[in-house]
Structure formats: structure tokens, C-alpha cells
Structure 1
């Protein structure tokens, strides 16, 4: 299997929009790996995709979307509500794919449908939410928000949880869900001994 894409290395000038755009590209590459692989390579790429999607969406829900609601110009609530609905639907689809596994009947169609939904969601963020962030949030704050997103990702669950998709929901349930997910992940991985 080709090496999975690595996350962008944070630098002092990286801002939250740069970080999220790099993650969107990484997510797209992982979808290609999942769709184009078989066997263990597919399973590994899918596991990496699931973990990245869970962390990425949790961080957006905790850091980016609440800020986007408050930006001048109106429409922030509706824009964020639409993104949260897309995220909830994607999490439900992802849960179904996880439950069936990469060898299940319908996985190929399901992963393509999920890819299309996730990439459409990303394009909406890139077209509507991110430009508003760049327009209304000072560059220094955008840079500090990149750190906040990275911090949120370190404590995020590694699996989708459709019921916890708000900043409050993630902050309340996220740490416990993250512990459960990480224990489950450790039990699933073969030991190196």
C-alpha cells in the first residue's frame, strides 16, 4: 500500500483555515486509498480515515463552527446548522460502514456515497465558512485557532458519535467517548509481541 498522507506540519504561520484545508486534502487522499485498495491495505486506510474524520469533525464542532455562528454578515446560524446536519448524516453512514466492515456487501457503494457527501460538505466549508473566517477573524487569532483545533483533536473520539455534534456535546461526552474508542482501538490492533 502506498504511504498514507501525513498531516501538514504546523508552522508558526499556519492558521486554522490552512490546517483544515490540508486535512480536507488528506481525507480525500484516504478515500482514494480505501476505494482503490483491498484486504489489509483497505482496512488500514479505512481505519485511518475513520480516525481522521472523527477528530477533524469534533475539532470543527468545538472550535470553528461556534465562531462561524458569531461572524458579522448574518446567516452564520443557518450555515453552521447545515454543516452540522451534513456531519450528523456522515457520522451515521460511517457507523454503518464500520459495523459491516470493509468486506461487507455494499461497502463499495457505501464508501463512494460517503466520499461524495464528505467532499461536498468540505467544499461547502471551503466556499462559505472559511472565506468568512478569513474576512472577519484577525490573522493572529486564526493562527491561535489552529492550535486549538490540534488540541481538540488530541482528545477527540476516534469513532463517529452522531449524538455529540455540538461544542457542548463534544466537551461533555467527548473525553469519555475518546477513552472508550481508544480502548476499543487498542483491543482491535494485533500485538507487536
Structure 2
């Protein structure tokens, strides 16, 4: 992460990458779709965990209406985790997968837009550039130890901190096995 990156720049860049991966999953087939979907799942899992541990608590405390804004975003994230959890074990070539993925894609895109519009856009009003850079560092730190798969029910910082370390070890071990198996 470049030193000049603040939390809003970082999160928007991740949203751009998520949009790209959503498009690639929809446009590909077979092993490429499967690989791309697993990359998407990993990115969404670590991204959402970091938001739940760092970004949402900051928004709750600092932006006007933050509690309600975050409540709505967390509900969206929890729904996405449940869908991702189901999709993770499905055949990416099946019609059922694509039907659920298409709905997930729509929801994730709307969620990212809502975060950017109602949450991230207000950060510069309540924090200086130095604070926003520190938040970016905190997000990267949270991502470095976050689970790499969705875990429905872990939608707050305390829940993530209680279950995250064990889930992260298990997820990262499964990732290595999945990669070795092809």
C-alpha cells in the first residue's frame, strides 16, 4: 500500500477490484470461473472483516447517523456472507450457482455503492488526512489476519476478534490445500 493511501482510497480501490472480479466470474466458465470466484470470496471475506473491525466502528462513532448507516451495511454484509457460504461449495458451472451469483453480484454492487455514498464520503468531514492514513494501516493489519472465507454471524468487531483467529488459520489451511489440489 502506498504511504499516501488513506482509508477511503484503499476501500474504493478494493471495491473496484471486487467489481472486476464479479464481472470476470460472470464472463468466464469452467476452471477459470472457479479460480476467479475463489479469489473473489477471499477478497470479500478479508475486506468485510476489516470493515467490521475498523471502518464501521469509526463510522458509528464519528459520522452523523453512523449507527443507522452501519446497521444497514452490516445487514447487507451478513446476507452476502450467507450467500457466499452457500456458493462456495457449489459447482460454478451449474445454473443454480449462476442464479444465486447473479443476485449476489447485484447486492454486492449496491452495497459497495451505499458504503461509498453514505459512509466513506463523510470520513473527510470528521477526520484529517493523517487519521485516514492511520485507518488505512489498521484496515491492512486487520486484513492480514482475517479469515479468507465467509463466516455468517461474525458481523461485529467483538465477534470477529473472538472467532476470527481460529477461522483464519482454518481458512488459510484450506486455501493451501485447495491450491495444491488444483
When the two structures are superposed, what TM-score results if normalisation uses the length of structure 1? 0.91
Report if the CA contact (8 A) 2:63-2:123 is conserved: no
1:14 aligns with 2:19: no
What is the match of residue 139 of structure 1?
Answer: 129
What is the match of residue 108 of structure 1?
Answer: 98
What is the match of residue 168 of structure 1?
Answer: 158
What is the match of residue 7 of structure 1?
Answer: none
Q: Map 1:65-144; keep pairs closer than 5 Å.
A: 65-73=56-64, 75-144=65-134
The SS at the match of 1:190 is helix
Higher relative contact order (CA 8 A, sep 6+): 2
Count matched residues.
182
What is the match of residue 28 of structure 1?
Answer: 19
What is the match of residue 149 of structure 2?
Answer: 159
1:180 aligns with 2:170: yes
When the two structures are superposed, what TM-score results if normalisation uses the length of structure 2? 0.96
Distance, in Å, in 1 between the alignment partners of 2:53 and 2:80 is 17
Shift of 1:43: 0.7
- Per the alignment, do residues 130 and 86 of structure 1 end up closer, same or farther by CA in structure 2, a change over 3 Å counting? same
RMSD: 1.2
Report if the CA contact (8 A) 1:71-1:132 is conserved: no
Aligned mate of 1:52, from 37, 43, 47? 43
Q: Which runs of 4+ in 1 moved over 6 A?
A: none
Shift of 1:130: 0.6
Shift of 1:104: 3.0
The SS at the match of 2:62 is coil
Q: Deviations over 1:54-109 (max 9, x none)?
A: 00000000000001001143x11111011000000000011111121312331111
Between structures 1 and 2, the one with greater helix share: 2
Shift of 1:111: 1.1
